[in-house]
Structure 1
Amino acid sequence: MKKIINELLPIFREIGFYSKNLRNIEKEFFEYQEPDLDNVESWLKEKRFEKEFIDKTRKTIDKIYEGTDLDNYQIFIGGQSHIDIAWRWRFWQTFRKAVVTYNKAVFHIKNHANYTYISSQPVLIEWIYHKDPDLFDKIKDAVKTGRFDLCGGLYVEPDCHIPSGEAIVRQRLYGQLFYLKHFSKISLVEWIPDSFGYANNLPQIFLKSGSKYFMTTKLTNNKDTRFPFINFLWESPDGSQVITYLNPGGHGALTQHNLIKKYRRILKNGTKLIADYTFDKPEDSELFSEEIPPIAAFIGKGDGGHGPTGQEVAIMDQMCEYKKAKWITATDYFVKVLEKYRDKLPIWKDELYYEFHQGTFTTQGLVKRMNRFFEWRLCALESLFTILSIYYKDLNIKPIKEKIQKIWKFTLLNQFHDVLPGSSIPEVYDDCYDIWDYCIQLMREIERECWIKIETPSTQKDDNQNELKAIIYNGTGVDIQKFPIEIEIDSEIEIDKLNQYNAIKLNYLNREKYQKFQILLEDNFPLDPLFLKRKNRIVFVVDDIKSHGFIEAQFVKNEKFSNASENLKIEEQENYIILENSYNKIKIDKSSGIISSIYNKIIQKEVLNNEGIKLNLFYDWVPDEQCWNLLNTYGMMPIPINSPKSIKIMDKGPVKISAEVELELVNEDSESKINGTSIIKEQISLFDDCPGIFVDI
């Protein structure tokens, strides 16, 4: 294990793997201080009482109210400060930002009788709990006042499209558990102002983990697809509903009031309106009556925290004195104000679509890949550990459980909505790389303990029988049938040793079967050595493995077993490479590298009526926010792809056959010699007695 100087953030490389920039880890963790020019005490004692400030503030407030009828409404206000866990700064800089922000929050709670503060992202308070216990105690005291509002039960405010449903459940689990453990309460309001759209199953997860309410802001930035409601019931496919407030952010609920009045209306008595994106302009429905009278604005400097500042609090106090606004928490606004209108709110049964930032689905591809790796692997590891803990009572559960929880928390941390989408500075991905490295080491330690308990670890030599054995575990949660399995070959096992065997004996629960296997050599092209490059491995096909089931694979030499495959064929013709197994026969056009034909032998039909796997590339040119956005017209700017640089047969059986297509893309407009040319390798494979067609790019 690498030397880690901060157990909350396992950073250890002195040169960032991604950015290649030098860093001083000791200084970063122990010396760096977050600058803050805001003197909240001076605002409390002096500035806020000066006539010049009061007059200037009231002019500002008049400007906010100008041209509106806000004097006819009850205005509620609350303090908040959005903190990006990482973005233009690294993770541990965020901890410093959180310390500044929460010190202000507890100061304002203590020194302003009615002041309220909305907090989200439990990870921030968790960091403070470990590294600044005095501030944590002040936060606990502030929570007891009822004016420090614990919102946002998600561990961080994550991207809400890319993570799996299970990962979002874990976000809620670890966030709500932290609140419950340290504050004896959970969040009733999920608070995600800044993520780039929201999947339609989120209400189900929120409601079933304790939150009946949801606040967001991002969709108010839509231009062409303006969202039709400000207050509504958001319903997931299972019927779960949460009251949702689409808050314009900051003073926006006030300054934009004239623009959004029609979106704040409630329904007439006894009526119901259900809408989705197939419903054109539901906001214009005749079923609506008057506007909801109370308006809430949650205000404070943000992105990097630091709010509300002393000046912002002084202005909000003037709003209460001058315009009769009232302080309120987000929880109270939902429970005591909006809840009264539940039966009169329109119902939205769809995702919450954000029309920008579609580019974040592909930016920083390794981040996406590693997120999915940990999501899948952690679930499999947990189920394996759970099963073994039932059978082996002497298994040391506590340290393994703590390691699994630690890996989950780091995975959730990296799902933050500016990290997983790929929109942070390069140095953030240096941190991610170290975290992945550290977590994989922890996973290997856990796996080693589990396999030792089973007594036949993966690819372990059996000294009694001079044979090699492996235990295959299906941790996917679904039954697997006719599927290829790859096992990495232990570095201590020589390839020549494996060549002495001609079969794998698969021991199922009530039967055994001999199966062919094939040795695949490590990738011979440049890939990330830690996370992408595949080492020497063995591949074979299993008939079936039950969900959470085991099979034993034993390498044997069986004179009666033939390792040849009659149904698996690959040949190169003048214009095509043809791959064939018992299920499919496919043709790859050598001039283009495209699959031109797939003939399914089971139904005895050609299943393609056009080109098959075709790579399409487009210019990614946007004037700003290049990591986030795609032009709406990108489809009109294709990049021409030349004929393949090469196309060749790679694997010839007996288990796997494959052809590799290599494309070279030259960007003549690139200013970078390194990035001017890109190589894309596409491998198309079939496996013996396996119905799938596999494409790796």
Structure 2
Amino acid sequence: MKKTGQLVLVLALALAGTASPAPAEFNPFGYTLRLVGHAHIDLAWLWRWEETLRDVVAQTFRGTLDIMDKVKGLTFAQSQVCLYEAVERDDPRMFDRIKAKVREGTWIPVGGMWSESDLNLTDGESLVRQLLYGQRYLREKLGAQARVGWCPDSFGHNAQLPQILKKSMVDYYVLERCVPDKTPAFWWEAPDSSRVLAYAPPGWYNLNLRDGVERVVAQVAEDYPLIKEFMILYGEGDHGGGPRRTDVEAYRKSVKSNSWPRMAFADPNVFFDRISRSGIEFPVVKRELNFTFPACYTTQARMKKLNRRAESLLLAAERFSGLAKFAGFRDYYPERDLDEAWKVVLRHQFHDILDGSSIGPVYEDAAESFRKVMERGRRALDFSLETITNVIDTRGPGRPVVVFNSLFWERTGEVEAELDVPRESSDAGLRLVDPEGRDVPCQVLKLEPRGGAARMRVLFVAEKVPSFGYKVYRLDEARGKPSEAPGLSVSETSLENEFFRVVLNPEGGGMRSILDKRSGREVLSAEGNVLEAIADEPENMSAWELGLKDRVGRVGQGGALLDVVEKGPVRVTVRVTGSFRGSRFVQDISLYLGLPRIDCRLRFDWQERNIMIKAAFPAAARNSQAYFEIPFGAVSRPTDGAEVPALRWIDLTDESGEFGLILLNDCKHGFDVKDNVLRLSVIHGPTYPDPEADRGPQELLYSLYPHAGSWREAGTVRRGYELNTPLEARPAMIHSGSWPASASFITAEPEGVVVSAFKKEYGYFYHGFILRFYEAFGKTAEVKIDFPWPVRAEEANLIDYTERALPLQDGKVTFILKPHEIKAIKIYRILPSGD
């Protein structure tokens, strides 16, 4: 998106547009402009991906190659590796011309990412995959890996990005939005102290040289006089075709007149190398570079949900597919399926697509693309779990159900399992036992006759499922009465388990009270789970900008219907039905036996425009700062009511440090915290560029997790992953096997260390497996990883290249993680001789 470039440039970056007058005292003598041709290409925005390939890329690349043939030395920088792959596939002759220019040194691949991604709403693993697939493709196909990161149009930049770039062999970074005031060049430092030299080119990323650049340079020179040479990006993006004829004419005129500032074609790599070694002490910025376009955290909710679902599924599929291969349970790893699925996800993480600022047909295309992604991911996951199930000893009475945990810590969570049973089955004699023979309460959710049999769906809470492992449960209809479990109770206006008593308002359905029975403390300071309706009237660009004004009502303000819809031994649920104007909302509020979490599953039919719905929770906790999950970490932000992005959770811990409240979600990204009130942005109704954005059925899950102590002590990071990464249940045949009824394949400690990935290393002909970690608590950690097989290990960078060997201690892989550090290790299984 480039339409608002000049406006944002003036207001947010304090850099001058071409209309800004030059300071009268400015003397251009001694200044040099390093000219880099560029075409910013929106993969899909006010047009679809098909048009981008057919018209935009073909026109831009061909026109640029033609002008490069005519103008000696003209350089061109192009990002977004998915475009290179498309050209290689669709137009091999053009691709050969590009390769020749790359060898010549005039066409410079930059960015190293599969797309110019959103950088706040994607999982950290997605950002790593952007660079993994991008950098490896560039090296393999063009022999020219990117050293300059390139996201000039992305809507903000998370705090861990410098580390991700640096550990992906990227030293520099080009951006335009959210640049610190009067700081066009600076060292940007991640929390682990990794740095990249960041630079905001004067005049935005599509300057027209014909309009004159002296005023632009003069303004930046006034703000930051240490720099005497500037890299300028010129050329028209999208349907404009790259460097213009008028740009070339302006360059030739400048060279012929020998006037100042001097102009010279340049390679961005060389420019950065020069200024980084110039001796200038650039300022150091140690924070996230946000915020802009806050509506984009919420717009096009279905797109954001598809992305979250796909990320979680592909990561789980990789882990178990990798395990099946690494452990020798099978020889096959579905590399091509997973690679192609990831590439589709990464392309749709392009900022205008994921952020919701594209036209409606873009999201119709995305829905179909993600349907295929989910098919690939589910196929890979199912095949791997079936393979692993076949090596487990499932002998014993009853029907075995294997529960798999794809996360790298022992966890307790709800499980739904489907299995075929005799047609006459019911819950009257149903009994579920764990591997030790202990009764486990279970609840029949559905029983459907199917011919001579029936399909039963059961719900239970699986306790202490081993880290990256499994546990076998047995369902037996012939061994006694149904399991009973005291501790759950429900009425139309209250729910209770061993942890909480929740009281609902019979008028509107909000939560009047949440009593934490463990501490005796009230969680809320006023009625919570109120679905507030707020007038949202931005002056323009409603997909991007919020114009929140007064509250104009709430869901259920005319009355709500409360019904008990589940009253089982595992889960109790009250359904709250209400409306706001023409939109109907149905919310299921649930408590589970054994889980200290309050679930709110919301389904609604959205029909409003220029309204935002926020779920509000006035907490008993108070603090001037709250914590928000970001890719590979968390940041503290003031509780000033600003709309900000987050991933799976936000937390408000009381300033005493004794208690707090976590708000978890399965697909949302927009939040605000004002004093003690946490609010989740549920939906809004923009009118441009898609007047029908988000209209129709929607569904989401958010959960409350009251806790003692700090967010670290509460295991907040783990709770966020658990809500988004379900335990997987698989019915099994009864058979012998080499693995017991419960086992962990890989364990990692301590608690503040998160394993974000386990996968085969990149490349069909390479045989290592990657484990990626990040330190989440801001503390130095000694990491110990235990395997049930002998292994050897190497440290790798984030794009899977080996850096050094790692020693083993007592058969365990051990290393140090610095605070907030991201690290990958590559492991190889050592097979017994003769295998």
Please give the TM-score of this superposition, normalised by the length of structure 1: 0.76
Separation in structure 1 between the aligned mates of residue 422 and residue 300 of structure 2, nearest angstrom:
36
Query: Contact 1:684–1:695 (CA<8 Å) still a contact in 2?
Result: yes
Deviation at 1:473, TM superposition (A): 1.6
Aligned to 2:463: 543
Aligned to 1:300: 235
Q: Deviations over 1:129-173 (max 9, x none)?
A: 111111111111000111111101111001111001111011111
- Which ranges in structure 1 are unaligned for 5 or more consecutive residues? 1-60, 221-225, 265-289, 523-534, 667-676
Q: Given the superposition, is the C-alpha separation of residues 91 and 562 from structure 1 closer, same or farther in structure 2, using an over 3 Å criterion?
A: same
The alignment status of 1:502 with 2:427, answered yes or no, reads: no
The alignment status of 1:439 with 2:337, answered yes or no, reads: no
Q: Given the superposition, is the C-alpha separation of residues 316 and 536 from structure 1 closer, same or farther in structure 2, using an over 3 Å criterion?
A: farther
Aligned to 1:113: 72
Separation in structure 1 between the aligned mates of residue 178 and residue 335 of structure 2, nearest angstrom:
39
Q: Deviations over 1:473-528 (max 9, x none)?
A: 211334313x21233x36x6688646365222333xxx453312213359xxxxxx
- Which of the pair is proportionally richer in helix? 1
The alignment status of 1:486 with 2:446, answered yes or no, reads: no
Aligned to 1:661: 576
Separation in structure 2 between the aligned mates of residue 547 and residue 352 of structure 1, nearest angstrom:
35
Aligned to 1:227: 181
Residues 120-519 of structure 1 aligned to structure 2 (within 5 Å) = 120-219=79-178, 227-247=181-201, 248-249=203-204, 250-251=206-207, 254-264=214-224, 290-304=225-239, 306-322=241-257, 323=259, 324-336=262-274, 338-341=275-278, 344-355=281-292, 357-392=293-328, 394-397=330-333, 400-455=334-389, 467-481=398-412, 483-487=413-417, 489=418, 497=425, 499=427, 502-507=430-435, 511-519=436-444
Q: Deviations over 1:285-344 (max 9, x none)?
A: xxxxx42111221100013451113333333333333333111021111112x2124660
Q: Given the superposition, is the C-alpha separation of residues 518 and 568 from structure 1 closer, same or farther in structure 2, using an over 3 Å criterion?
A: same
Moved more, 472-481 or 155-164: 472-481
Q: Which amino acid aligns with 1:344?
A: E
Q: 1:83 aligns with which of 41, 57, 66?
A: 41
The alignment status of 1:600 with 2:533, answered yes or no, reads: no
Aligned to 1:688: 593
Moved more, 645-654 or 137-146: 645-654
Query: Contact 1:219–1:246 (CA<8 Å) still a contact in 2?
Result: no
Aligned to 1:651: 566
Q: 2:550 aligns with which of 636, 655, 667?
A: 636
Q: Which amino acid aligns with 2:464?
A: D
Query: Contact 2:534–2:552 (CA<8 Å) still a contact in 1?
Result: yes
Q: Deviations over 1:225-282 (max 9, x none)?
A: x734111011111111110001232338643333333442xxxxxxxxxxxxxxxxxx
Q: Deviations over 1:46-103 (max 9, x none)?
A: xxxxxxxxxxxxxxx9999895533441121110000001001111211121122111
Residues 94-105 of structure 1 aligned to structure 2 (within 5 Å) = 94-96=52-54, 97-105=56-64
Q: Deviations over 1:348-389 (max 9, x none)?
A: 11111243x111111111111111111111111101011111
Q: Given the superposition, is the C-alpha separation of residues 227 and 637 from structure 1 closer, same or farther in structure 2, using an over 3 Å criterion?
A: farther
Q: Which amino acid aligns with 1:379?
A: L
Q: Given the superposition, is the C-alpha separation of residues 254 and 405 from structure 1 closer, same or farther in structure 2, using an over 3 Å criterion?
A: farther
- Give the SS at the match of 1:649: strand
Q: Given the superposition, is the C-alpha separation of residues 566 and 466 from structure 1 closer, same or farther in structure 2, using an over 3 Å criterion?
A: closer
Moved more, 358-367 or 622-631: 622-631
Please give the TM-score of this superposition, normalised by the length of structure 2: 0.64
Q: Given the superposition, is the C-alpha separation of residues 449 and 582 from structure 1 closer, same or farther in structure 2, using an over 3 Å criterion?
A: same
Query: Contact 1:81–1:307 (CA<8 Å) still a contact in 2?
Result: yes
The alignment status of 1:564 with 2:502, answered yes or no, reads: no
Separation in structure 1 between the aligned mates of residue 480 and residue 592 of structure 2, nearest angstrom:
23
Provide the aligned C-alpha RMSD in A: 2.7
Q: 1:555 aligns with which of 445, 450, 475?
A: 475
- Give the SS at the match of 2:535: coil
Q: Deviations over 1:434-455 (max 9, x none)?
A: 1111112222322332233235
Query: Contact 2:126–2:346 (CA<8 Å) still a contact in 1?
Result: yes
Aligned to 2:12: none
Separation in structure 1 between the aligned mates of residue 464 and residue 342 of structure 2, nearest angstrom:
29
Deviation at 1:597, TM superposition (A): 1.2
- Give the SS at the match of 1:136: helix
- Which of the pair is proportionally richer in strand? 2
Aligned to 2:770: none
- Give the SS at the match of 1:194: coil
Q: Given the superposition, is the C-alpha separation of residues 500 and 451 from structure 1 closer, same or farther in structure 2, using an over 3 Å criterion?
A: farther
Aligned length: 565
Q: Which amino acid aligns with 1:414?
A: H
Query: Contact 2:22–2:218 (CA<8 Å) still a contact in 1?
Result: no
Separation in structure 2 between the aligned mates of residue 536 and residue 424 of structure 1, nearest angstrom:
42
Q: Which amino acid aligns with 1:251?
A: L
The alignment status of 1:92 with 2:50, answered yes or no, reads: yes
Separation in structure 1 between the aligned mates of residue 297 and residue 389 of structure 2, nearest angstrom:
42
Separation in structure 2 between the aligned mates of residue 406 and residue 335 of structure 1, nearest angstrom:
35
Separation in structure 2 between the aligned mates of residue 185 and residue 132 of structure 1, nearest angstrom:
20
Q: Which amino acid aligns with 2:550?
A: M
Separation in structure 2 between the aligned mates of residue 342 and residue 371 of structure 1, nearest angstrom:
44
Separation in structure 2 between the aligned mates of residue 596 and residue 65 of structure 1, nearest angstrom:
61
Deviation at 1:418, TM superposition (A): 0.5
- Give the SS at the match of 1:619: strand
Q: Given the superposition, is the C-alpha separation of residues 89 and 495 from structure 1 closer, same or farther in structure 2, using an over 3 Å criterion?
A: farther
Query: Contact 2:119–2:157 (CA<8 Å) still a contact in 1?
Result: yes
Separation in structure 1 between the aligned mates of residue 279 and residue 544 of structure 2, nearest angstrom:
36
- Give the SS at the match of 2:532: coil
- Which ranges in structure 2 are unaligned for 5 or more consecutive residues? 1-17, 448-454, 603-835
Moved more, 114-123 or 307-316: 307-316
Query: Greater CA radius of gyration, 1 or 2?
Result: 1
Q: Deviations over 1:94-114 (max 9, x none)?
A: 112112211122223322221
Q: Given the superposition, is the C-alpha separation of residues 457 and 363 from structure 1 closer, same or farther in structure 2, using an over 3 Å criterion?
A: farther
Identity %: 24
Query: Contact 2:389–2:402 (CA<8 Å) still a contact in 1?
Result: no
Moved more, 70-79 or 657-666: 70-79
